[in-house]
Structure 1
Amino acid sequence: IGWLSNVFFSPSLSKGKLCPLRASIDVLEGEYFFLCYLESMQEHFQEGAYTINWYKDNAGKQELIKETHRIVSQMNFLEFWPVELGDSGHYSNLTIQKWTLNVLERNKSSCFNKNHLTTEIKNAGTGHSLKCSDLSVNENDSITWYKDCKSYENETERELDFETLTVQHSGIYTCKILISHEGKIYQSTNTIKLVVEADAPEAVTLEIVGRHEEIETEIGKEEILNCTGFLGYYMPEDASLYWLINQEFPEKCTGIPENEPSICEEEFKKLQLGNKFYVTRLLQIKKVTDEDMHHNFTCMLQADERTQIKIVKLKKGNTRDLPVHIFTTGMVLAVLFPCVAVAAVFVCVMFRVDLVLFYRNICRRDDTARDGKEYDAFVSCLKDCISPTEEEREFALKILPMILEENFGYKLCIFERDVSPGGAVVDDIHSFIDKSRRLIIILSQNYISDRAIYELESGLHKALVERKTKIILIEYMPISDYSFLPESLSLLPSKRVVKWKKDKSLPVNSRFWKNLRYLMPAKPTKINIKGHYNNLDLGSQGPQPRTKGCDFNEVA
């Protein structure tokens, strides 16, 4: 607060108030406060005329302040019960005095406002007093001191005295005065930031770091006892630190492991951390014996004719080392676990198809329920009806539908078998592909018919653009040159190609049929596994192709 040093008693001395000489005042909202003019200024008034008018500057105009229950003009005082943010401004009366009042907002997260404090800088080792504000001197006013917003040692006096300042006394001190008025309690605070500088080394107490202690150990175990002493802010010339074992000095460590005594004391070391000085010394116990459990290991610190001690004792602990066989087993498991994890990942990758099919069978998973599709797959044979090899035709029209439909319960749509002649072929192909969950394309290097090309391009459009149908490519014979196929076919994932390997692929449980079922939609069914395709009577059971349905021009 910008108070000046001159302070005068007001005419209302009976009320116990002082009138500080000040021009600019900072005060916190919600606190009691007053303005007053000096006693000597009363000479400007005629005797008996003791009515004082107070004014506040409003946009350059002096407006008379009217009294309310909150703002009271009494004698030469203008009191605020309490002051509010809107009270900030310039004040004056008929005297030559003027005041500038700044009402600061209260900090809701702290007991003070950082803009409402004074700073006092003092040196360590000196005495000092912090004084509360002079807003009230009534004897019945309650006064409480706080340091960093915490109650400070039950101090209730107007002055907070320090006989000898130390750096630890630095902090923010707040004095709170409680004032009673018309049955209500108001407060007034004063905050001081005290900074204590350590220009000279502080007087510190010589001490050993840590207290007396007991260390849990085991017979035969190595132990190293550490003793560290704090000397203060300078290194005394006579500082010493040493160990005693039952009041006897231990031997000195030689630094040669094979010649070391069972218990020895290492060299004395001096340390400096910042402006603080320490000394340290270690005591080595090679193998703890039962006799050591009954010894007192005493650390002695001496400096400036002062002595500090620390006693360390050993005791048997409850913890034991792991047995060798348990430790060995743990190490073996730790080594094997990564190998097992890698092997598991390898198995999952290599046999993912078998695992997925097994999962489908166990969970009875069904991807075909309520999807609006009529067929599980539309089969497209990319060759003319008059094929150089009857084997390709037999695979497309007999083997494939027989295994998938009769053995695994899938429903296929084959143009040569299911589409009646005489219709609009383009519309039929488009409609049947729309009704199918998959498009199976049997690749061949034989002559490609117009209808087959349309089937392929229509299916590719739905797979790559509309993303409505997934394509499965069956490579019936090895193909070295794919230039006869549309370029967009190269955009399909290679994992969706299944290769037919003649007799090796004929058994129902062969890798070919597993890979094909893996790419087909999941569908619960009772699998009818028959030993081999050659064991089936194709002439009586297989689907019969139409005689002339394969030629696009003829059907159209």
Structure 2
Amino acid sequence: MQTGYVLLFWVFPIFLEGCCVKSNQHYKTGPRMTMPQQRYRVVEGEMFLMPCTNNTVVTWYQITGDRKEDGSFSFDCGSEFLIEAKHSGNYTLLTGKIFLYLQVLDKQRLPCYIAEEGGVMLLAGAGGTIPCPGFNCTESTGVTWYKGDERMSKMYRDLCVKNGQLHLCTVSHYDTGQYFCDTHFVEQGVEWTFRRPVTITAIPFKEVSAPPRITLPDNSTAQEVEFGEPHTMTCLVHFPFELNFSPRVQWYINYGGNVENRTLLRTESQQQVTRKVTFKEFMVNHTDIIREVTPLHLNHTYTCMASNAVGNRNATVKLKRKNKKKWPSLVGYPIASLLLVAGVGIVLHVKWLELQLIYKSHFQSGKLDEDEKEFDVFLSYVWTTPHEQAGLTLFSRSGPESDDYPSTLEPFNFQHVIDDLRPPEMLIPMVLEDVWGYRLCLLERDMLPGGAYTNDVMHAIRRSQILICVVSAEYLSNSNAVFVLESGIQILLQSSTLKLLLIRTSRTSKCFVEPDSPLPPMVRRALTVLPSLDWNLGQSEKVNGKFWTLLRKALPKNKVRLVTGVISHAHFGHNDHRNQE
């Protein structure tokens, strides 16, 4: 076979000179058969490619004698496969209009079969000739060459066909691949096509001219290891192309670091992977695994040696123990502590108000003197419905014999009070005062006219156990209401007995939104941390709803008065009497 390669490299270029005198000349050496009946002869054990019709990808199906598909074999045109004797037979397309007969020949009985003709190597950058196997054994009427399923005569490159041989004016690495030559002949009046494959390998050069080069390991870098653990010794080598490529890579151990005292490294396992990275170069990854690293391994050096027909290269490394992570020095502890204390101090300074309010609202509970508190609840709100209608609804009852109320009310049994959709500003006071019996303070009702508004508000809040603010968009836009909330926050920070609760209506969300008029910074920050309940229209009106349950739990426990008989008639009289004064 080596003799054949020499002939291809040195004899065939003589014929190429006449073929490539004129550039860009392409010869169509035979039509592509599109007749209804095609006949192909192939050799068993060789690669074959079913023809395509009219440059269309189709599928050929083997058929029985009555021309019906039996499903034995089907092949897509343009797909290569290895021919076997069982593939002989008739084939057709789904259309049923074109038929193909495939005859598989035994290569042992073929008079001109030469196995070496099936593979050719061509030198890149020079011209090359590809012979058609068995061409001289047939009375050919023409030869058609293909690379894969693409006809060579249609390629835009310098080539020609002489005596059945394909002549390439210039070979490149793109010419590597599977070629087919179709020899056309007539036998007993029947046209046949004898298809033979040729495997072409383009090579950059015939003889290697450079030694290998090692890219890993690096001579100047020691490899870190851990005692008692395995360690992988990796050698990455780049070899130039060779016809008979057989890379040689080995790891050696140099005892005491002396390269003269060298032996092969005995390891737990060894692995070598070779792959082609470019047209002119291969890369070999050779690894040896040391099963368990001991202190003795640190006393030696290790050399990776790679060689080819031209020469050898080596790289030597040393092992060192991996440094364990060290704790920060003693100087770092005080600095880290100082930074931590400073960070905590900054957070406390910025969030001190919020932290105070959270502690006062949720965790602190001071002793309560009931005699000091005139009111159970101070309720602050801003009307979102006409004041007259609200007043009429709230104070229209005249006595205990009112038809709208029964004589006895049980706790949380006040569905008759919320028989329609009333706003929280109207419904909450009715429930707190008339149903649950709390002593309620309302500014519009219980504030004496003509007094100092600021002092009266502060005094009323101090005389109440809990301040409840019904927060709505109108509430946050009302300066008097915001003053009540701000006063309650200040008293909460000073007193351990006052409680503060926000009831947010559906017109405000838990995420505070700044109204048109800016709020005081204390109020703006307190709105994010103070205890709150949500009033949702259509849900909070339920008798045993979650809202009323949570509200009752938040109210003072020692002042609940369940009203029986007359519903707070005396209390209304007391308030009316005070307003008259």
TM-score by length of 2: 0.29
* TM-score, normalising length: structure 1: 0.30
Structure scoring higher RCO (CA < 8 A, sep ≥ 6) equals: 2
